[in-house]
Amino acid sequence: RAALRAGAGLVTLATPRDALTINASAMTAVMVRPVDTAIEFGELLGDKRYNTCMIGPGAGIGDRTCDLVHTALSAQRHLVLDADALTSFAAAPERLFESIRSAQDNAVVLTPHEGEFPRLFSDLSNKYPGRSKLERVRAAAERCGAVVLLKGPDTTVAAPDGRATIAANAPPWLATAGAGDVLSGIIAGLLAQGVPAFEAASIGVWMHGEAGSEAGPGLIAEDLTETLPAVHRRIYDALGVEY
């Protein structure tokens, strides 16, 4: 699957036809479009309103997912890559890095966890001592030409130019299935509104942690979308913004 977002709030799920009915019935708040091939995906991206893509969760591992990623980059779309989109390039990560570098105007964010990180950056993994998490993420971002977000209790974000942030607000109960997918969606939403990639990733991580604290222990991923409005309200109150 791939999710497409537009700055005006248009969200569309690109899904294989054999899962269309299931996804359409389960996701009543977004548009659902059948997309089986990279060619169809490219045709869908002919709609310029779709300025941002998130590819990975539920996409499947293999050449098809790689082709979707290359198509999004060729179409000059902002891009968040997670889960299967990262693992699909494990055998040849340089293919992904070259595609990212060839699309220099794109905002690209990679969001691996510690299990996915070495699939793209094997020599920078935590199996090799002597480098801090911050150093590893900075080196990864410089190598691939994208913003890299390495998830964990101290989620670290780095840009290719060396800027970095470390989050300190993530509660332990965020370590639940699907929570990382929600984080990717938050970042994609910020990119779609014109927030630069490094800032979008850093803001998204903070908001994700705050939403987790708002939900409390025992949360499931779906709870995060319910608590995000409370996080927004706190920000507006702090800024004195009426709503």
Over residues 174-216, the pLDDT tens digits come to: 999 999 999 999 999 999 999 999 999 999 999 999 999 999 9
Over residues 119-163, the pLDDT tens digits come to: 999 999 877 777 899 999 999 999 999 999 999 999 999 999 999
Phi, psi of 42 (to 5 degrees): -60, -40
Pick the CATH number of 2-172 from 3.30.230.30, 3.40.50.1980, 3.40.1190.20, 3.40.30.10: 3.40.1190.20
Band (pLDDT 50/70/90 cuts) for residue 7 is low
Task: Report the distance separating Cα 211 and Cα 186, nearest Å.
Answer: 11
Contact 75, 113 (CB under 8 A): no
| Domain boundary assignment for the chain | 2-172, 173-243
Which tokens hold the place of 115? 């299990």
Question: pTM, whole model, 2 decimals?
Answer: 0.94
Please name the residues in contact with 223: beta carbons below 8 A apart, sequence gap of 6 or more.
Answer: 215
Sole residue written with tokens 């040849």: 92
Q: Which of 62, 7, 3, 57 is nearest to 35 (CA)?
A: 3
